[in-house]
C-alpha cells in the first residue's frame, strides 16, 4: 500500500461556492482521486461550513469518493444524515469521540468507510490501541478550521508512528494528510508514509486545475518511484 501512487483529494473548502457543482466536476475532470468535504460546526472549530444538504447536492455530479471530514462535536449524531446524503467515507476526530470504537462500528453499519482524524496538538498516543477496523487515519497538518495555512512538518512524526503500527498490527488503513499541502510540502508527507493528500488552495487557488493536480501528483510521485 505505501508504495502505491498517492491519491489527490481536492478540498472543496477552497472552491467557489457560488459555482460548487461546476467546481466538483472540474476537479474530477482534472484528475482528482477523491473529493474532500470539510464539515465545520462553529464549535469543534471556529468556523461554519456545510451540512448533509450540500453533500446530497454534489453527490450526483461526481463518481469520485466523497471523503467527508467531520470537524464537529458529537459527530455520531450526524453520521446517518451524511451517509444518507451519499458520503462514501466519514472521518471523525479522536478529540471528539470518547467511544471511538463504537463510532467506527456505527459508520461501518451505515455502509461507509471509517476514518479518524487527529489535530496537531493531540499526541499520537491518543490513537494507540484504537485503530482496529479503521479504514483511514487523517493527520491534520494545520489547526483545523481554515484553508490556506502553513504546513506543520512536526506532525509527520505521527504519520511515521501510525505507519509503524499498521505494519506491526496488520492494519489496512490509509494515511491522509490535510493542511498546507502543495508541491513543496507533498514530498515530505509522502516520504513519511501518506497515501492521500488533501489540497485546497493548492488546487482551487490555481487557474488550471489539471495542471495543479498533475503538479501535485508529480511532486508526490517523485518521492515514490
Ligand atoms: C482545514 C481543512 C482542510 C483545508 C485544507 O480545517 O480540514 O481540508 O481545506 O486547505 P489548504 O490545502 O488550503 O491548507
Ligand atoms: Zn479537511
pLDDT band at 2 (very low <50, low <70, confident <90, very high): very low
Pocket lining: 199 vs ligand 1, CB cutoff 6 Å: yes
Confidence of residue 224 (pLDDT cuts 50, 70, 90): low
Say if residue 225's pLDDT is above 90: no
Strands (E), the chain: 7-10, 34-40, 65-71, 89-93, 113-118, 136-140, 174-178, 196-199
pLDDT at position 222, please?
Answer: 84
DSSP reduced 3-state for 38: strand
- Residue to substitute in 183, 200, 206 for testing ligand 1 pocket (most ligand atoms within 8 angstroms of CB): 200
Torsion of CA 183, 166, 66, 219, to 10 degrees: 10
pLDDT tens-digit readout, 83-102:
999 999 999 999 999 999 99
Distance 45 CA to ligand 1 centre (A): 12
For atom 6 of ligand 1, the residue with the nearest CA is 144
The answer, yes or no, to whether residue 216 has pLDDT greater than 90, is yes
pLDDT at 4: 74
Its sign, for the CA torsion 94, 96, 97, 98, is positive
DSSP state of 184: T
Question: What is the rounded CA–CA span in Å between residue 42 and residue 71?
Answer: 9
Q: Which residue has the cell 491519491?
A: 7
C-alpha span between 108 and 6 (Å, rounded)? 24
pTM, two decimals, is 0.97
- pLDDT above 90: residue 134: yes
Predicted confidence band of residue 3 (pLDDT cuts 50, 70, 90): low
Reported as a single tens digit per residue, the pLDDT across 19-38 is 999 999 999 999 999 999 99
> What pLDDT was estimated at residue 1?
45
- State which residues have CB under 5 angstroms from ligand 2, the bound ion: 38, 69, 178
Mutate to test the pocket of ligand 1, among 8, 38, 117, 177 (most ligand atoms within 8 A of CB): 38
Amino acid at each position: 500500500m505505501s508504495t502505491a501512487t498517492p491519491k489527490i483529494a481536492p478540498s472543496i473548502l477552497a472552491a467557489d461556492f457560488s459555482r460548487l457543482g461546476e467546481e466538483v466536476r472540474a476537479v474530477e475532470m482534472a484528475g482528482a482521486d477523491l473529493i474532500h468535504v470539510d464539515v465545520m460546526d462553529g464549535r469543534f472549530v471556529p468556523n461554519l461550513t456545510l451540512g448533509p444538504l450540500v453533500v446530497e447536492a454534489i453527490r450526483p455530479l461526481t463518481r469520485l469518493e466523497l471523503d467527508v471530514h467531520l470537524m464537529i462535536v458529537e459527530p455520531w449524531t450526524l453520521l446517518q444524515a451524511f451517509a444518507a446524503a451519499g458520503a462514501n467515507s466519514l472521518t471523525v476526530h479522536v478529540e471528539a469521540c470518547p467511544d471511538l470504537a463504537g463510532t467506527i462500528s456505527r459508520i461501518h453499519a451505515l455502509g461507509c468507510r471509517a476514518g479518524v482524524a487527529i489535530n496537531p496538538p493531540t499526541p499520537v498516543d491518543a490513537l494507540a490501541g484504537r485503530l482496529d477496523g479503521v479504514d483511514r487515519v487523517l493527520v491534520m497538518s494545520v489547526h483545523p478550521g481554515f484553508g490556506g495555512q502553513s504546513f506543520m512538518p512536526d506532525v509527520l512524526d505521527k504519520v511515521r508512528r501510525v505507519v509503524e503500527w499498521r505494519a506491526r498490527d496488520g492494519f489496512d488503513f490509509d494515511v491522509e494528510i490535510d493542511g498546507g499541502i502543495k508541491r513543496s510540502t507533498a514530498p515530505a508527507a509522502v516520504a513519511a508514509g501518506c497515501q492521500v493528500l488533501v489540497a485546497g488552495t493548492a488546487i482551487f487557488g490555481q487557474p488550471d486545475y489539471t495542471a495543479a493536480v498533475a503538479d501535485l501528483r508529480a511532486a508526490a510521485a517523485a518521492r515514490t518511484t
